[in-house]
Amino acid sequence: RLSGQQQEINNLIQRKIAVDEENARLKNEFSNLNEKFKDKSQELKDTEECAQKKEEQNRLVIKNLEEENKGLNTCCADLLNDLEKLRKQEVQWKTEKSGSDARIKNLETDLTNAREQMKELSSKCSNLSSQLAVKQEELSQKECDMNRTKKELQELQSLYRQNITHTAQQAELIQQLQALNTD
pLDDT at 162 exceeding the cut of 70 = yes
Mean pLDDT for 126-140 is 95
SS (H, E, C) 144-168: HHHHHHHHHHHHHHHHHHHHHHHHH
The pTM of the full predicted model, rounded to 2 decimals, is: 0.39
Q: What is the pLDDT confidence band of residue 44, given thresholds at 50, 70 and 90?
A: very high
| Domain edges within the chain | 5-177
- For 93-118, how does the pLDDT look when each residue is reduced to its tens digit (9 = 90+)? 999 999 999 999 999 999 999 999 99
> What mean pLDDT comes out for the span 153-163?
94
- How much is the average pLDDT of 17-31? 94
Mean pLDDT of all residues in 135-147: 95
Q: Looking at residue 183, what DSSP letter applies?
A: -
Query: Residue 145 has what pLDDT?
Result: 94
